[in-house]
Structure 1
Amino acid sequence: MNENETKEYWRWKEYNWKNPDIPDWRGSLVTAGVDVGSTSSQAVIMVDGELYAFSNMRTGSDSPSSALDAINWAMEGTGLTLNDIRFTVGTGYGRVNVPFADKAVTEIACHARGANFMYGPTVRTLLDMGGQDCKAIHCDERGKVTSFLMNDKCAAGTGRGMEVFANLLAVPIEDVGAMSLSVEEEPAPVSSTCVVFAKTEATGLLRAGWSKEKVLAAYCSAMASRVVSLLERNGMEKDFAITGGIAKNPGVVKRIERILGVEALKPIYDTQIAGALGGALFAKALAAKAGKDKSAPQGKMAGR
């Protein structure tokens, strides 16, 4: 077995982060959002509504363990324990299986709320490109969802589909976008809407003499076309932003912008944390609504 058959080219960087400008959370309202998605999980911790820490990692074999792993990694080095977090919202596919969550909120609502924080109140159209589905979302100036459309019929237009292609072509996932943009002439998009058939089509193109760059360009173009169709069906309105892992792929983002004639807002935070960030913001509002005291321990699952 050669190296290409064993190397995981799809594997993207997992990491955690802590805000150096918030030296101490004690005496503050600490809330959290945990987004357990089909392929990745994120946990965001906020202190008095400010981003304090987060983690971004691969979803494991089950949602409860993935949620715990994500929040524990986000808390690493902060001195926090789960009992110090006053309110937690679970979101994503595994939202009802976050064992320490006080409430579950849909990922659509959380992504809109998180994008409002990340990009500002001017965002009206949001594209969330997740591991197994894509969502076109309209929201108002407060980040409240006003309409949405979702396409989850196949992984061909999602992050998981891109991972499959990275492995197929033995190209590191972080290099896919740049390589796809290096072609001198844009090829026709791959025609298949199913990731299994798209793989077969790509293999045929490689055997016909296409370069990896050209095949990647054809796949990124096809992905962009599919999501643009979703956006147009839901209606485009400025300002426009993208969340999710595919937002880190310039080969897809630039093609979306080119087709729409609209430039997406540039992120200053990791686009994959938008759902968990929205969850933490909902948690802050729900904690205030419930009248929870900032300093009194809640006793949730003591000793976790």
Structure 2
Amino acid sequence: MKAIGIDSGSTTTKGVLLENGKIIQTELMPTGGTPKAAMEEILSRFSHQSEIPVVTTGYGRKLIQADKSLTEITCHAKGAKWLASETRNIIDIGGQDCKAIRLDADGAMEEFNMNDKCAAGTGRFIEVMLRTLGEDISAIDSFVENAQPVKINSMCTVFAESEIISLISKGASRNDIALGVLHSICSRVANQFARVSPSPKGTVFFSGGPSSSEAIRMLLSEYIKRPVETHPLAQYTGAIGAAILAEERVLS
């Protein structure tokens, strides 16, 4: 049996095709201000047939016809537990929001906190700051390797960008500034994470686009004072959860 999950994010749209509980295809593309078109394109890449159940999640989850549309929190909980079975806490850094989620022993959501009103603590903040430094977010790990962090005081995107320009004009290293940006992000995310009273048990799972950065993962671990784990498919966590729930919906 096949099932499809689609996660319509503000920056990227992700899709997962499951067959008998195994991932057989993943798709990712920029949302680009047209979430409905991006979701339809993802669906078409799966050679979608009407009998295959579809569950959508994310910002644009209600823009296309699906068997069910579910919240990001529900789908991330399910997807993280599938990728790392010992998960009890989730940190998800998305393009325009950051989520901290606490799960019970069965993987059900107990508490969550979402920052979706400000770019601080999001992938967008990192992207804008690195663009100001003339670097691409995909090269962040090599860019900050062996750097010494410069303190970034502003968390507002506009003010932080001005602060970075000022630091550059004073001769600060771009690499050191970039590491300072990561420290400021991880410090803020750690404070948000603490507000869900995280479970002391199990794994802290890191999802979202920035989860591919080893530097960010290690800094998060440093700030929350416990190990943080991730997975090569962590950016697809929401879509994986949606696909699993689509499969469960048919089987139930």
Pick the TM interval, shorter chain. Answer: over 0.9
Q: Which has the larger radius of gyration?
A: 1
SS in 1 for 2:5: strand
Matching of residues 126-165 of structure 1 within 5 Å: 126-165=90-129
The equivalent position to 1:55 in structure 2, one of 3, 22, 27, is: 27
The aligned counterpart of 2:77 is 112
C-alpha distance in 2 between matches for 1:276 and 1:266: 16
The aligned counterpart of 1:218 is 180
C-alpha distance in 2 between matches for 1:147 and 1:159: 22
The equivalent position to 1:81 in structure 2, one of 40, 48, 71, is: 48
Give the unaligned 5+ runs of structure 2.
none
Deviation of 1:108 after TM superposition, in Å, equals 0.7
Matching of residues 1-304 of structure 1 within 5 Å: 29-73=1-45, 75=46, 80-85=47-52, 87-97=53-63, 99-120=64-85, 122-183=86-147, 185-188=148-151, 190-237=152-199, 238-267=202-231, 269-289=232-252
Q: Please tell me the residue identity of whatever aligns with 1:242.
A: F
C-alpha distance in 1 between matches for 2:101 and 2:233: 19
C-alpha distance after superposition, 1:197-234 (max 9, x if no partner)? 11111111111101110110110000000000011111
C-alpha distance in 2 between matches for 1:43 and 1:154: 26
SS in 2 for 1:42: strand
C-alpha distance in 2 between matches for 1:143 and 1:57: 29
C-alpha distance in 2 between matches for 1:32 and 1:140: 26
C-alpha distance after superposition, 1:167-214 (max 9, x if no partner)? 21121211123322421x3332x1112111111111111111011101
TM-score by length of 1: 0.79
SS in 2 for 1:96: coil
C-alpha distance in 2 between matches for 1:136 and 1:50: 27
Deviation of 1:236 after TM superposition, in Å, equals 2.6
Deviation of 1:50 after TM superposition, in Å, equals 1.3
Structure 1 ranges of 4+ moved more than 4 A = none
C-alpha distance in 1 between matches for 2:50 and 2:32: 24
Deviation of 1:84 after TM superposition, in Å, equals 4.7
Q: Is the 8 A contact 1:44 1:55 kept in 2?
A: yes
Q: Is the 8 A contact 1:228 1:260 kept in 2?
A: yes
Q: Please tell me the residue identity of whatever aligns with 2:247.
A: K
User: Taking every aligned residue pair, what percent have the same amino acid on both sides?
Assistant: 31
Deviation of 1:105 after TM superposition, in Å, equals 0.3
Q: Please tell me the residue identity of whatever aligns with 2:116.
A: D
SS in 2 for 1:234: coil
Q: Is the 8 A contact 1:116 1:141 kept in 2?
A: no
SS in 2 for 1:61: coil
Deviation of 1:255 after TM superposition, in Å, equals 1.1
C-alpha distance in 2 between matches for 1:140 and 1:178: 37
Q: Please tell me the residue identity of whatever aligns with 2:242.
A: G
Q: Please tell me the residue identity of whatever aligns with 1:128.
A: D
C-alpha distance in 1 between matches for 2:42 and 2:156: 31
Deviation of 1:118 after TM superposition, in Å, equals 0.6
C-alpha distance after superposition, 1:259-304 (max 9, x if no partner)? 222111241x321100000000110111123xxxxxxxxxxxxxxx
CA RMSD of aligned residues (A): 1.4
SS in 2 for 1:225: helix
SS in 2 for 1:192: coil
SS in 2 for 1:179: helix
Q: Is the 8 A contact 1:55 1:71 kept in 2?
A: no
